[in-house]
Amino acid sequence: MTSTFETIARDAEVVTQDELKVLLDNGGGKAYIGFEPSGIVHVGWLVCIKKMKEVTDAGFDLTVYLADWHAFVNDKLGGDIETIRLCGEYLKEVFDAAQVPCTYLYASELMDSIDYWERVMRVMKGTTLKRTKRAMTVMGRKEDEAEADTSKFLYPALQVADIFEMDLDLALGGMDQRHAHMLQRDVADKLGWKKVVAVHTPLISGLAASGRMDPIEGKMSKSNPDGTISIHDTTEEISRKMKKAFCPEMAEGNPVVEIVQHVIFPYEGKFTILRDEKWGGDIEYTDVAALIADLESKQLHPQDLKMSTAAALDRIVEPYRAHFEGKMDMVERISAAVGR
């Protein structure tokens, strides 16, 4: 039987495992995951959503932090704070649809305190400009993009101060959040404040896999609709996008294999390849290693893999489509604002 620790640590990086075990032995604690309200949710988010449920199942009280001012600093949704907050309400609907037990908190609520801004100043005093620029991957940006405007330098300090201000025990996020969480741990050592345990989930590449050498740069992005499968896509749209997906006969740099490994297996526990009898009929996999072996030995055709992945994703996103029936005006308004 899989232990609670093994469940949380599975398909994730934990910093550190021993510290997580202590938290679990003590019944959990306070956890958070932060999201910029910046666009429509795609299937890459399902990796984090699964881990969010595992964390709450383990006894943690989870706060979903809707980082509205962070999105503003990061020039999301045209920098329109009202649209950003509409997107925050949309994200609440997404996590409600996923049945994640959590509390919602906007950054604008947390920031309304002089104590918070004192923390920001102390965090900035506790690190260097060089380290701050390195942590800018939390924004989905490269270090040299900090030169765009001065507010960009503030972003990593805000995120670190958020964690301290909420008095958290565990911080959850994708691997793109790693630099910020490690910065928090370093600052905690310097200032004698609480050090957070960090859990990082894998990033799913865009369907074109154009950034295979850089997982953060090449991750699935709402700004590239054709390289992304949205939780609102129809059966036909999912099929069309998957037909065009990059899918070499190898696992490395293969976004379709990533989706199977990090989304389909965790949600469905197995994966069935749907094939015509003349090509050997259907085949069921219970682990990704066997699938990869068949793909690389040419026993599994990439087109069969892609279309079977499309069918599985269609099942997984159906509850979200159902939840948003009658609410698509919200989705359409946010979609129209992406890329402004």
Express as a percent the part of the chain with pLDDT over 90: 81
Return mean pLDDT, the chain: 92
Per-residue pLDDT tens for 108-165?
A: 999 999 999 999 999 999 998 888 888 876 666 555 655 567 888 899 999 999 999 9
318: left (phi over 0), alpha (psi -120 to 50) or beta: alpha
What does the H/E/C string look like for 74-114?
CCHHHHCHHHHHHHHHHHHHHHHHCCCCCEEEEHHHHCCCH
Is residue 34 within 8 Å of 65, Cβ to Cβ? yes
What letter represents residue 137's amino acid? Answer: T
Query: Using CA atoms, how far apart are residues 157 and 178, in angstroms rounded to an integer?
Result: 14
Residue 209 has pLDDT above 80, yes or no: no
Per-residue pLDDT tens for 7-33?
A: 999 999 999 999 999 999 999 999 999
Total domains present in the chain: 2
- 231 lies in the same domain as 194: no
Give the torsion sign (CA, 307, 201, 98, 78). negative
222 falls in which pLDDT band (50, 70, 90)?
low
pLDDT, position 219: 76
Query: Using CA atoms, how far apart are residues 82 and 78, in angstroms rounded to an integer?
Result: 10
Task: Return the CATH number at 324.
Answer: 1.10.240.10
Query: Which pTM does this prediction carry?
Result: 0.92
Q: Which domain holds residue 315?
A: 225-337
pLDDT, position 1: 63
Assess if residue 219 is contained within a domain.
no
- 184 lies in the same domain as 243: no
Q: Quick one: average pLDDT of 235-241?
A: 97
